[in-house]
Amino acid sequence: MTDPSTTSDGAVVVAVGAHIGDMDLAAGPALAQNVLDGGTSVLVALTPGERGHPRMSAADYRQQKITEGARLAEAIGAQFEVFDDLSDGFLADDEPTAQRLARLLRRYRPDTLLAHWRHSIHSDHRHASALAERARFLAGLPGWEVDDKDDAPPERRRHGIGRLLFTENWEDAESFTPQVHVSISEEAYRRWHAGISTQAFARGETYGFRYIDYYAAQLIMRGCLARTDRAVAFGLEAGSPMTRLMPRR
């Protein structure tokens, strides 16, 4: 995930979603592309998303979701983190969770943070967006849980995250404006599609919504606008300069 003016190998990208499956769909192809480009991608789910199945118990679906999330991460070559003690539908925008996420961000030390767009029909998504922004602030805050010794663990060392981008999610569509496009190669698409196809909800087996078809079509539509085969679009935080990423060749 680079732009032509700041090209660098080995970028670290962390995507923070409210549930397992959120960033898998909205950011998964871009995370796969980042890995193929030599970078490190990290999928973070703040809850398992265990209340999203109309026929399975939350406890059983929780375990299934965690397994599915790990499979998707493996398919695209990403790291996988889930706050499995937090609960779908009850994600709070609170300081303990923001601080926990900030320590994780310091550990991975990303160049780019991906988060939900702040306007959503789902309260967990809104809270996850706020938590990501707060965690980014804390991760780079001078004097917050900082130990500057060379042998200090990463989570005790301050880290500023240069770029925050917001993902395009059908539940977070209000006032979302696509401003950054990441071109997706055929191999990145293939890896993402293989991984997301292992997730029951994405196949439409929970409430019938055709997630894979929707996001696959969105990749083509954004690719048309970016003059490439497939692309993922992101929004910028207020005050960020407009950026349009060059398509892959």
Q: Strand 79-82 relative to strand 40-47: parallel, antiparallel, unpaired? A: parallel
Per-residue model confidence as pLDDT tens digits over 42-100: 999 999 999 999 999 999 999 999 999 999 999 999 999 999 999 999 999 999 999 99
Predicted pLDDT at 239: 62
The verdict on residue 99 lying in a domain is: yes
The verdict on residue 24 lying in a domain is: yes
Per-residue model confidence as pLDDT tens digits over 162-189: 999 999 999 999 999 999 999 999 999 9
The verdict on residue 4 lying in a domain is: no
Q: Are 84 and 62 in contact (CB under 8 A)?
A: yes
- Res. 241: pLDDT tops 70: no
Q: What percent of the chain has pLDDT over 70?
A: 92
Sheet containing 40-47, strands listed edge to edge, beginning at the edge strand earlier in sequence: 79-82, 40-47, 12-19, 112-116, 163-167, 231-236, 180-183
CATH label of the domain that carries residue 112:
3.40.50.10320
Give residue 94's domain range.
12-236
Rounded to the nearest 5°, which phi and psi values hold at 151? -95, 10
pTM of the full predicted structure? 0.92
The verdict on residue 245 lying in a domain is: no
The verdict on residue 6 lying in a domain is: no
- Res. 248: pLDDT tops 70: no
The verdict on residue 127 lying in a domain is: yes
CA distance 95 to 180: 30
Of the given ranges (80-89, 139-148, 195-204), which has the lowest mean pLDDT? Answer: 139-148
Predicted pLDDT at 244: 52
The verdict on residue 87 lying in a domain is: yes
Domains: count for the chain: 1
